[in-house]
Amino acid sequence: CSHVTPVLEELGIPAVMVVTDTFSKFARRMSSTQGFPYVVIAETPNPIRQLEPEALRPRAEAMIQTVIDGLTLPPANASAGS
């Protein structure tokens, strides 16, 4: 969620925002206004609501490296890919 990720980062807990492409600009704006413009965002095409698990899996797999980097690399290195 765009409100929770910056709060977690502020507490020193690495977090990655997972959004559909429809919300990525909003997510970046929200994290920036909360003082965390570097928050890593893993993005997938919209829509996802009606997709079956078999269709969601490749989307999750496409985002996994961004999520891993966002949780394990320093913010400057991790955000370079997002």
What's the pLDDT tens digit per position in 51-64? Answer: 999 999 999 999 99
Six token digits for residue 59: 């989307």
More confident residue, 3 or 72: 72
Alpha helices in the chain (DSSP H): 4-10, 24-33, 53-72, 75-78
The whole-number average pLDDT for the span 32-42 is 89
When the pLDDT of each residue in the chain is averaged and rounded to a whole number, the result is 88
Judge whether residue 39 has pLDDT over 80: yes
Q: What is the pLDDT of residue 68?
A: 96
Distance from C-alpha of 50 to C-alpha of 71, rounded to nearest angstrom: 28
Contact assessment for residue 49 and residue 31, using Cβ atoms and an 8 Å cutoff: no
